[in-house]
Amino acid sequence: MPPFYPPHMIRSAFSASLSQMYRKEVPLYGTLLSLVANTNQMTLQAYPALHTSLTTTGELNRLSEERHGAIRVGTANELRTLKQMFALMEMHPVAYYDLSTAGIPVHSTAFRPITQKELEKSPFRVFTSLLRLELVKDQKLRDLATDILGKRNIFTEETLELIEKGGRKGGLDEKDAKRFVQGAIETFRWHSEASISKAEYESLAKEHKLLADIVAFKGPHINHLTPRTLDINLVQESMAENGMAPKEIIEGPPTRSCPILLRQTSFKALEEPIIFKNAEGKLEKGSHTARFGEVEARGAALTPKGRGLYDECLNSSRTKSANSTAPSADQTINAAHDLFLQQHFKSFPDDWEAIREQGLAYFRYFVNPNKKLDTSKYHDHVELTFLLRHGLVCYEPLVYEDFLPISAAGIFQSNLSGNGGEAVLKKDSVEKDSARSAFADALEADPLDEMKLYAKIQEESIERCQVALGVEIIH
């Protein structure tokens, strides 16, 4: 029996194939990749210490292939099958995101690798949203959407066979893995012909653009891919010069010396031609806006304490008047917004040692190869603070691998034209806990707790230091 093809190689092949396909479908995405690559190169040249840090931690090798995708599915069955598909690539559902609080009728999870080893090999992740039809007020539209989604199959027959085979046997051999990647890509392909009439599309879009985007097509079509940049401010400034219309502000925390969590921006969704077929079989021309180009800058993963402080700072900024972000004559809207956020984030330390000492973020620890610990001077244990103070152990922040629901909502909303959809949501009648439970039922699994994953990686790095030094490390 041939050996199983490594899941990270399937994941890398899938990510590369998806990128190639999307570049052909959305040429501006190729322009965006070039812009990000040039920006990263200039940033590394300008900051040698950053280059050294990324090399030491293994982050530099994955920088160029670092990206995530986003899709939106319509049924629990589609979501469960995606879970099985991603499992063959060692991508697991992590965290739960309720976007209904921002007027968007979906809730989501992110399928991604969960160990440091797998993340270093290929960090690809897919933000996956499930439509919540129960939040749409119009019963006729709910019935229409249910009927349409119940009839479609977004997976090829061969892909379904390979998903079943891989799940049953615990993996795929190289031949099947290559067939699997080719088939899986079809689920994410763009279809310029709608599966409903123009009148039906317009009814769905009037209720919510996202409702039409999810229901009207043969498949979920990936709506963006996201490269990682080391200077998102520069990318934001350079988009217009490269033929892209950027959203007005960068989502997430402000510019900092010590980046935290996630910052995102995008060029706005493209208006693309669509062909509709009415009940008489006649073709009608129309258009649809859904797909866009996103960029991300990833900072440190925060602990529950750090997230609490982050939320306090963010909530403080959101309660202030929007007029506070009005730009001056020499500012862009984004620059004014960033300065406004910085003022509200002053209580969040912008120094790695202060962040570490206060337990606000997760870190990876490394033994300094240039120094040795004289174990004869100690018993069988030593304090971590001592090792750090004497340079025997070094640390770097763990990269935040997940998403921010407010930022995701901000990106979604900026790329939806027409009705934002808040009016169609029956938010008051749906409790968040029950929504999460419903999502877990649809997924047939509970999304993993991202905080526990970060804590485990941090603890494992300390354990490796213990083995290397030959002493127990107290922390």
Per residue in 354-364, pLDDT (tens digit) is: 999 999 999 99
User: Which ranges constitute the DSSP H helices of 88-138?
Assistant: 116-121
Residue 279: pLDDT band with limits 50, 70, 90: confident
Instruction: Give, in degrees to the nearest 5, the angle at Cα 366 between 361 and 367.
Output: 145
Q: Is the distance from CB of 239 to CB of 35 less than 8 angstroms?
A: yes
Contacts of 317 (CB under 8 A, 6+ apart): 340, 341, 343, 344, 345
- Tokens standing for 165? 């085979």
Judge whether 90 and 118 are in contact, CB under 8 Å: yes
174-229 residue pLDDT tens: 999 999 999 999 999 999 899 999 999 999 999 998 999 999 999 999 988 899 99
Does any domain span residue 430?
yes
Task: Tell me if 220 sits within 8 A of 214, measured CB to CB.
Answer: yes
Distance between first and last Cα of the chain: 47
Q: What's the whole-model pTM score?
A: 0.91
pLDDT of residue 419: 40
pLDDT over 60 (residue 323): no
- Nearest-5° Cα angle at 65, 297 to 227: 35
Q: What is the CATH number of the domain that holds 436?
A: 3.10.180.80
- Pairwise CA distance, residues 143 & 223, whole Å: 25
Looking at the domain assignment, is residue 259 inside a domain? no
Kindly report the length of the chain. 475
For residue 86, give Cα distances in angstroms to 81, 110, 212, 342, 440.
Answer: 9, 11, 25, 38, 16
Closest CA to 247 of 67, 381, 417: 417
Domain with 60 in it: 7-228+420-444
In a domain, 269, yes or no: no
Q: Running DSSP on this structure, what letter comes out for residue 324? A: G
Looking at 44-116, which runs of residues are DSSP E strands? 67-73, 92-98, 106-112
* Distance of alpha carbon 9 from alpha carbon 124, whole angstroms: 11
The answer to the question of residue 263 being in a domain is no
For residue 397, is it within any domain? no
Inter-residue contact 127 to 110 (CB < 8 Å):
yes
If pLDDT is split at 50, 70 and 90, which confidence band does 57 have?
Answer: confident
- SS3 label, residue 472: strand
117-133: b (≥16 Cβ within 10 Å) or e: ebbebbbbbbbbbbbbb
Q: How confident is the model at residue 415 (pLDDT cuts 50, 70, 90)?
A: low
User: For residue 231, what are its two tokens?
Assistant: 């200077």
- At 11 the pLDDT is 96
Query: Which pLDDT tens digit goes with each residue over 104-113?
Result: 899 999 999 9
Residue 429 has pLDDT above 50, yes or no: no
- The residue ranges of DSSP E strands in 332-459, in sequence order, are 363-367, 381-383, 393-397
If one counts every other C-beta atom within 10 angstroms of the C-beta of residue 59, the result is 19
**Distance (Å, rounded) from C-alpha 402 to C-alpha 301?**
9
284: phi then psi, degrees, rounded to nearest 5: -130, 140
Q: Is residue 64 part of a domain?
A: yes
Alpha helices per DSSP H over 127-197: 139-151, 157-169, 174-187
What torsion do the CA atoms of 132, 136, 142, 146 make, to the nearest 10 degrees? -10
Place of tokens 């997430």: 252
Q: Is the pLDDT of residue 64 over 80?
A: no
Question: Is the distance from CB of 137 to CB of 206 less than 8 angstroms?
Answer: no
Domain count within the chain? 1
318 is a domain residue = no
Closest CA to 436 of 125, 109, 134, 215: 109
How far is residue 265's CA from residue 232's CA, in Å, rounded to a whole number? 8
Higher pLDDT, 324 or 163: 163
35 inside domain: yes
* Structure tokens, 177: 């893995």
Cα gap 367→186, rounded to integer Å: 46
